[in-house]
Structure formats: structure tokens, C-alpha cells
Amino acid sequence: MKRVSPPLLDKASVTQKGAVLLGKHLTCDAHDETRPLRIVSHAHADHLMGLDQSLRKCKKILMTPATKDLIDVLRGPLLLMSGYVETLGYEKPFQYEDERVTFFKADHILGAAQTLVEDAEGARIVYTGDFSIDETPILEADVLVIEATYGDPSCKRLFTADIRSQLVSLVEKGLKQGPVYVFGYHGKLQEIMQILHEAAIKAPFITSERVFHVSKVCEKHGMNLGRLMLPSEEETWQLLREDAPCVVFYHTNTSGKIGQGSFRIIVSGWEFNTPIRQTGSNQYIVALSDHSDYDGLMEYVRQSKPKQVITDGYRAGHAEVLAKQIREQLGLSAEAQPRQQGV
């Protein structure tokens, strides 16, 4: 295992409150009282922790333009007006005192960003945030903080099938019976809309009001989703009353109470053996994930060539396992943070 000089060990960490600290000035995805600059990697709730505090106390909060627009929809437009928010595009460096901050695309949801900090000593400190390796540029790093959602070796997708084409076929099958209900998280639902729209699915798309407004942000930033209808529209009520073919999109949190008895598709990343699994007479789970599996995480580390790796253990349960695998399989210095109490 490569030894790491003490200075590098001090350049990044994950706190007990989930703040990813980079360099001397930055905190990412949670508030930290000691840091004047806050980064929001993307608009999912587990990366917005302590945002109210940061808006009150940080000198500046950086995020991509798309992330700002999504937060305005999900949390209300007044929230970000209460602090010093600045949007930063991909690969547009931002200088803060003696450190340079640059966002790079992360293939996750719209607006998701990796963060690179380059300090006065020339060290490259990278935080991936959440990502799927397929379309995420791999950044070389001296210190790498990497997500660990699927960091266990058992979390390997054992299929190479084109999930998107299978999803389209499954929706077409359901439309022969009537409405198809699709459940997923914000960002993932819009990806599915785009897949179906580009596949020329002719059925109307119906969304909840929140999903509708998130979708409009996605369209503003270049996604093609087709015509969207709200449940409050008279035409929508008629379609649903008549069990006419249509695709209805709802957040995954509502899957237990909406669309019961209809053809239902639940999108989940926690599927590794088969791209589509039937769980009821008319219910299916589709393995369409926006996180890298174990192999993708290890490949990112391998190509990044870091001297020190920190696996984010605040937001996922497999950080300890991933750090162990990085040490054993790649011979790199790696540890999970935050450290368990008493360890």
C-alpha cells in the first residue's frame, strides 16, 4: 500500500454531520461552521443538508445553474434569495483566496457536478458527488472523496442488456391495457420521459404538479420530454376515467398509494441480477440507476490515480467495504469517513 504524506491527509474529510470538506475553505453538501464557501453538488435532499444555515452564514454558495433552478422548484424560490448564491458552469474556474474551484459534469441528475479544488501547493482534491460512470469524466486527483452507494462487491450489475429499449417495450406492453404508472425520483423520472419521447411513444404523459415543474426546469436546460399534462386538466380526468392509454409519472414516495391495480413500473438502482423483474401480475421493477455499481466505483478510483481515497460513509452503508476493497485490490491508501464513534 502506498504511504500518504501527512499534509495530503489534511486536505479532505467527511464530518460527522455529513459535510465533505475540501482544502481550507470549502464544505460540500452539508453545512460546516468553519468553512466560508459552500458547494451544492446536486439537488437531491441528502446533499442539501444544512442549506438554511449555509445561506445565513457562508460568504458564498456555489452550484450549477440547473441545480439552482431545481432547488427553486423543490424548496421554493425564496430560499436561495436569503443568501449569497452564485451559479458556476462546468469547467469554469472560480478563485477563492488561494484555491481554485472547478465543476465538472457528473452523470447523475440534471445539474450534478463533481468538484475539483486546486490549492496553493498544487494538490488536486476531488469530490465526485453521486455519479454514474458511463458519461462522467474521470478526474485525476491527489486526494479523492468518492460516493459509496453501491460500494459492496455484491453490488455488480450482471447484465449488459440495453435497459432503455427494454423499458420502452415494457411501457408499450402496458399501454395495450390502459394507463401505465411510472414511479421514480426527481431527475430519473425526467430521464425516463426523454427515453420514451425519443422512442416516439404516442401516449399522453401525465405528471403530478411537482414532477411537472421539475420537468419544466429540465426542458429549460435542454431535455426533450414531450407534451406534459397535469391531473387537474379536464382532458386528463377523462383519460384516467376511461382507462385510456397514457403514461403517468409520480415520485417514488407515492408508489404505495397511487395506481394500485394498474400497470405499474418502479425504477430502482438496487437491482443487480436482471434488468427487469416482475413483482406482481402488473408490476415491474426496472434497474435504471444513476449511481455507479461497485465495478464503476473501482474503475473511477483506478483511473483517477489518487494518493489518498476517502469513501463517503455518511450517505451510504458500503463506505467501509469500498475502502477495504480499494486498499486490497488497488493498493491505495483509503478510509471511510466519517469515522465511527470510538474508532
Q: Cβ distance 291 to 128 under 8 Å? A: no
> Start-end ranges of CATH 3.40.50.10890 in the chain?
163-286
For residue 75, pLDDT over 50 is answered with yes
- Quote the pLDDT of residue 340: 65
pLDDT (tens digit, 9 = 90+) per residue, 2-14? 545 556 778 999 9
Contact 70, 214 (CB under 8 A): yes
pLDDT grade for 237, boundaries at 50, 70 and 90: confident
Start and end residues for every CATH 3.60.15.10 domain found in the chain: 6-155+291-337
Domain 163-286 has CATH 3.40.50.10890: yes
CATH topology assigned to domain 6-155+291-337: Metallo-beta-lactamase; Chain A (3.60.15)
**Residue-level pLDDT at 147:** 97
- Relative to beta strand 20-22, strand 12-14 is antiparallel
Helix or strand (DSSP H, E) at 110 = none
Report whether pLDDT(339) > 90. no
Start-end of H helices in the chain: 6-9, 51-57, 65-75, 163-175, 188-198, 209-220, 234-241, 294-304, 319-325
Write down the pTM of the prediction. 0.93
Residue 89: the pLDDT is 98
Give the pLDDT score at 5: 55
Using only C-alpha atoms, the chain has a radius of gyration, in whole angstroms, of 21
pLDDT at 4: 52
d(CA 185, CA 116): 27
Q: What is the pLDDT of residues 271-327, one digit of tens each?
A: 999 999 999 999 999 999 999 999 999 999 999 999 999 999 999 779 999 999 999
Residue that wins the pLDDT comparison between 10 and 196:
196
